[in-house]
Amino acid sequence: MRTAFLGNGVFGLPALEALARSGHELAALVTRPDREQGRGRRPSPTLTKVRAGELGLPVVEIDDLSSAAAAEALAALEAEIWAVVAFPIIPGELLTIPPAGTVNLHASLLPRYRGAAPVQWALINGEETTGVTTFFIDAGIDTGAICLQREVAIAPGENAGDLSARLARLGAALLLETLDRVEAGTAPRRPQNTALATPAPRLQKNDGEIDWTLPAAAIANRIRGLTPWPGAFTFLETERLMVLQARVISAEQLPWERDQLLRPGTLGGFDDDGTPVVSAGDGSGVALVSLQRESRSAAPGADVIRGLRCECGECFGDD
C-alpha cells in the first residue's frame, strides 16, 4: 500500500526504518524544514530527514500545514494512507486527502495520556504499565478510533528516555501490523471511552524543578519522567544541579533518627554506599544516585556532594 510517513522526532525513527524495509511502498517522508540551532545558528534537519537521506527515501518539507501549498504537496504524493508519528496536529481539511485515512502511533494506551508527553506523564504518575496505540486521526487531539494496542510493564527505575526508546521499537512493529490490516480490510476501529481519558500536556523547562515537600516516591517518579528532558533539577545555594537518577529510601532505612524531623530538602546523611540522602515531605528520603553540575559531566551523587563540600543539614531548593 502506498504510504506517506509524517514525522519529525526520534520516536518515529524505528517506524520509518521498519516501513522502508516493509512491503509497503513509501511515497515520501514528510517533515518540517531545517531549523537554525546552536550558537552558530546553523540549519539543523530533523532526525527523520537525516535517516531518510541515509535510506535513500524521498523527502517533502512542509512548514505551514494550513497553507494551500501544503495541501498540494501532500495530495501530489498520491498516498493511499498516511502514517503519522511525532508530528504536529494535522488540520481537519487535510485528513480527507488519503482515501484509506490517517493512522497515528501514540506512546500510551489511549484514552489514557492524550497529549504531547504521554511517556513522561505515565512515569511521573507512577504507572506500572503503559504501551502503544495506533488510531485513526480525527478532528480531536488523540481522540480517534483505536486500531491496535500493545501493553508493556514499566521497568523499575526506567526513565523517560529508556522507556520511549523501548516503546518506539514496539510501536514500529504495531504500525506495520496496522498498515497490513488496513490493506487487508481487517483493521478494527474501536471508539475511545472519553470518560477514561487523562491528559499528558507538553512539559516546559521550569517543570523540572524538584519540590522536596512531595513524598519521596513522587519525587523519584518525577525525576524518572523528566529524564532526559526537560531534566529534573534543584539548587544548592546558587549552584544548579541536575538530578539524573534517584531512589527512594524508606523511613525505616533513613541514615538519621526517625524522630529527627528534617525540613524537606535537607541533606540528612548518606546511604551505606555513600550516596547522599535528602529528606522528602512524607518523612522518607531520596537518595541522589547521579548528579550533574552545570557545564560538567554526570557523576555519582556522592562525588558531586563531596566536591561541593556540602554538609549534613544544608538544604536543597531555591529558598
CATH class of the structural domain 2-196:
alpha beta
Same fold, 2-196 and 205-308: no
Over the stretch 216-231, which tens digit does the pLDDT of each residue have? 999 999 999 999 999 9
Domain spans, the chain: 2-196, 205-308
**Confidence (pLDDT) at 310:** 94
**In the structure grid, which three cell numbers stand for residue 28, read together?**
515520501
pLDDT digits (tens, 9 = 90+) for 242-291: 999 999 999 999 999 878 889 999 999 999 999 999 999 999 999 999 99
pTM: 0.95
The rounded mean pLDDT for the chain is: 96
Q: What is the mean pLDDT of residues 291-316?
A: 96
DSSP symbol at 264: T
Q: Which pLDDT score is estimated for 274?
A: 94
124-181 pLDDT, tens digit per residue, is 999 999 999 999 999 999 999 999 999 999 999 999 999 999 999 999 999 999 999 9
Say which CATH architecture domain 205-308 belongs to: Roll (3.10)
Strand order in the sheet with 25-31: 59-61, 25-31, 2-7, 81-85, 102-106, 129-136, 146-153
* pLDDT of res. 200: 98
Is a pLDDT exceeding 80 seen at residue 10?
yes
Beta bridge partners of 175: none
